[in-house]
Structure 1
Amino acid sequence: MANITAWSFTLSNPGGTVTLDNSNSNFTFLSGTSFQATATDIVFDYSVAGHMQWDNFGLGGNNALCFDAVGGSFTCIGNPPAETVLVNGVFSNGPRSGRFVLGNAVAVPEPATWAMMIGGFAMAGMAARRRTRTSVTFA
């Protein structure tokens, strides 16, 4: 697994739209085991205790993204625990269930895999080219 080197969230609700990214945001809270990374996904699992919050209140309004597990005691930006998007002071709450996928990565083949695939195509092409052709003549 590789480290995450860049990320961004575009937050939208009736109050406006703002983009939080790795250059302009603060990762202010993280606790519990609800925030998980696998080989292909970054997820927030609502069935596990924990919370997290990204924010930047200096972008011309109140701008934050917050997740809290069901039954969590932490309050995301003054609201009852919930998945909360706060843009320019307006709240939008989402459902708290299942696994919310924050990001995923598409598998990229290793260089050795590419070499084997290209070599296989080359060998199949050579085999097709070397095959002797028979001609049929009718009397």
Structure 2
Amino acid sequence: MNKLIALALASGAVVVAAPALAAAPDPVVDCSVSGLDDITPAALACAGYYSGNYLRNPQWDDQVLILEDLGLDISGQSWSYFDDNWKFDVSGNSITFGSGGIPTISGMTWIGLHVGGGQNFPTGGQGSVFYRFDAGDGLGTLTFNDYGALSSLVIYATGGDTPAVPEPASWAMMIGGLGLAGAMLRGRSRSAVSFS
């Protein structure tokens, strides 16, 4: 019995000593509620506003964590993949998809935007912001409202190109369903045994 208690205490000590999971950086101003209508069509989720240009290689680990918070797992990708294929220089307050080298987007889409010098941008100058939104059957134009000129766009996922991480509610339903199925199977095996 003493060995069992010692083993439990030792395993508890290992858990306590484990490093904390990495967390996305804190934005200068949180856009998760007020920033959903920054873009047209309106976003379903927003992360930012971050000071500086987060759409670059030195911030790659931060980009991964930010997008995980928005429901997208890109941890298996590298920055060079997006830099070579899905990062675009843009200007003005709107982006036209399907022209000027920018691909067509559709369905659930995750993007990052950088504002080069927006006087009204919540960080007080240049900054970055990330969105998840539904581009429907094919969005033609995305409009960025109120914050000055855009300078960069990264499309992290659109349509079915990159699978999304299930929402927490979906995880809860899956776990509950597995538990219920297990309970039903366990109940059936008990009722199938009969002693005569």
- Structure 2-normalised TM-score? 0.27
As a proportion of its length, which structure holds more strand? 1
Bigger Rg, structure 1 or 2? 1
Of structures 1 and 2, the one scoring higher in RCO (CA 8 A, sep 6+) is 2
- Structure 1-normalised TM-score? 0.34
